[in-house]
Structure 1
Amino acid sequence: MATSNTTRVTLKLLIDTKGCKVLFAEASKDVVDFLFSLLSLPVGTVIRLLSKDGMVGSMGKLYESVENLNDTYLQPNLDKDTLLKPKTTVASGANILPHLTNNVNVDSNSKQFYMCSYCNPRHISDVYGTPCPNKNNSMSTRVTYVSPQASSSTVVATSGSEGGYVKGVVTYMVMDNLEVKPLSTISSIAALNQFNVKDVGALREVVVHLGKKEGLKLLKASFETSAVLNKVFLGFEAAKGIVRDQCSPYQSVPG
């Protein structure tokens, strides 16, 4: 899958039009890799993505406190960006996350460290300018830490491995609460029984696109409700379980 700014993947929703409810979604490996990648996001990155004012609870205020705190009160070598703009290491192949987060310090290959060039044995820090404990010098010579995954990227590419978190040998079922499991005929029937679906004719498949806007909505909704798919793709009423006369699937993308 390409990683250009126009990259989007699709998600197939199974909707009960009578109850105006998303029962579950049929998802590819790329979608599941993206969902699992959300678990790797530091809290500071999540707050930046969703905006501190849009955060539920108090984390937005905590983030704002760091923003507003005068550097006088910080430790001498502390960079606020360590907390406010932490770098995220993403597993190779889970390339939807950098696309959705754009320039929010997502680093899929390496971390930066600094060392003192004059001491022996050498000391290393991940904060530029940290005083060297051996000499009156600062750690300012940059060295690059290469993760085992990044260093073996050539092997991964030539061995046929897909990268990411899950294999693409099956299609996956994503429930409304973002529970993920392999999709099969049996699991589909079990889900329909779970939702007590009596009229199969009322079921409708709707294909929606998952791009940056939808990805951020999924991230935000995951902190607000257990009815994530309904809130993102059918709206607030569906997430609250309110039945409407007409079920109007997500309209901003072609179905």
Structure 2
Amino acid sequence: MAETVGNGAATATSTTTFEVSVLRCRKTGRVLLLEAGKDFVDTLFSFLLLPIGIIIHMLKNAGGRVKALDLGISSLHKSVEKLDRSFLHVDKASLTQIRPAVVDTCVSTGLLQCLEAGETKPRPATFELPGVYYRTNCVCYGSQNKLSSTRGTRCTHGCGTYNQEMRLLSGDRESLEKGILDKLVHDLDLEKATCSSDRGFVRENVTYMVTDNLEVMPSTTVRCIQVLNKLKVATLADLESTDVSIGIIEILQLLQAALSSSTCLDDIFTKK
């Protein structure tokens, strides 16, 4: 059984959760820190890989259950969505929904899987080049060494168009297609070999401590005491620990809080 959030922004099975221990102050209910394993920390660190366009896209399409960013960058995102395609040289999705290749391959189980419904990149079966290309006579730097597959495309400096037809010979075309396909397959195999999807970012079999402002460190007695002293916790009797299951909505809420708050854990896990 799957849960879908928004318009394809995130999909996760109902069992995709992270188990963490949240530490609160008994008197105020304020969240001080939490302890978690590798999977949760990997997910937090994966926030650093996300382009701002996909972050805004995911938060906006979370079915109203996550507060969308209301910042200047959000207006830029909205402007691209509203702008007529005739004014753009690129597909809108390249600015608003771009996905970095590293997210698909350098992740551990659950890492961004619940954020982007990431799938393993398929091995390309075929690769077909256009039979006709166009070149330009303009003299600006670099344009003479480039070809376009679309007649009438303007050069990067706007001083000419690609309209002189060139056709690939059958043998040359087949050779180029094979070379490009072999390179794509080789790159995919290399990614799998050098960046195992089971490895992630941090070491396994370690308990990590995450503070309210999302500072991450190994959870040791000394570090825990240092953090609690910094938070002016008088005695251990002032503390209350609760086991919490974190799902897709909480992860998206943390992502939103990470961009707009310095009290991220308290914003999400404080008792209402």
TM-score (norm 2): 0.67
> In structure 1, what residue type is equivalent to 2:17?
R
Q: Does the Cα contact within 8 Å between 2:12 and 2:248 map onto a contact in 1? A: no
Is 2:245 aligned against 1:209? yes
Q: What residue is the counterpart of 2:18 in the other structure? A: 9
> In structure 2, what residue type is equivalent to 1:32?
V
In the TM superposition, residue 96 of structure 1 has moved relative to its aligned partner by 2.4
- Distance in 2 between residues matched to 1:154 and 1:44, nearest whole Å: 29
Q: Does the Cα contact within 8 Å between 1:26 and 1:172 map onto a contact in 2? A: yes
- Distance in 2 between residues matched to 1:72 and 1:98, nearest whole Å: 34
- Distance in 2 between residues matched to 1:88 and 1:24, nearest whole Å: 30
In the TM superposition, residue 68 of structure 1 has moved relative to its aligned partner by 1.1
- Which of 200, 207, 211 is equivalent to 1:171? 207
Per-residue Cα deviation, 1:198-226 (whole angstroms, up to 9, x for no partner) = 13112111111111000000001111210
Is 2:106 aligned against 1:92? yes
Q: Which runs of 5+ in 1 are unaligned?
A: 235-247, 250-255
> In structure 2, what residue type is equivalent to 1:82?
S
Change (3 A) 1:18 1:64: same
Q: What residue is the counterpart of 1:30 in the other structure? A: 39
Q: What residue is the counterpart of 1:239 in the other structure? A: none
- Distance in 2 between residues matched to 1:86 and 1:128, nearest whole Å: 23
- Distance in 1 between residues matched to 2:184 and 2:256, nearest whole Å: 32
Greater CA drift, 106-115 or 210-219: 106-115
Greater CA drift, 47-56 or 221-230: 47-56
In the TM superposition, residue 124 of structure 1 has moved relative to its aligned partner by 11
In the TM superposition, residue 117 of structure 1 has moved relative to its aligned partner by 6.6
In the TM superposition, residue 21 of structure 1 has moved relative to its aligned partner by 1.4
SS at structure 2 position matched to 1:214: helix
Q: Which runs of 5+ in 2 are unaligned?
A: 1-10, 62-66, 134-144, 154-161
Q: Does the Cα contact within 8 Å between 1:109 and 1:146 map onto a contact in 2? A: no
SS at structure 1 position matched to 2:202: coil
> In structure 2, what residue type is equivalent to 1:70?
D
Superposition map of 1:100-249 within 5 A: 100-103=114-117, 106=118, 109=121, 136=166, 143=181, 145=184, 151=190, 153=192, 162-234=198-270, 248=271
Q: What residue is the counterpart of 2:82 in the other structure? A: 68
Corresponding residue pairs, total: 221
Change (3 A) 1:108 1:175: farther
- Distance in 2 between residues matched to 1:25 and 1:177, nearest whole Å: 11
Q: What residue is the counterpart of 1:45 in the other structure? A: 54
- Distance in 1 between residues matched to 2:46 and 2:146, nearest whole Å: 29
Q: Does the Cα contact within 8 Å between 2:20 and 2:36 map onto a contact in 1? A: yes
CA RMSD of aligned residues (A): 3.8
In the TM superposition, residue 17 of structure 1 has moved relative to its aligned partner by 1.1
TM-score (norm 1): 0.71
Q: Does the Cα contact within 8 Å between 2:37 and 2:205 map onto a contact in 1? A: no
SS at structure 2 position matched to 1:13: strand
Of all paired residues, the percent bearing the same amino acid is: 29
In the TM superposition, residue 55 of structure 1 has moved relative to its aligned partner by 1.3
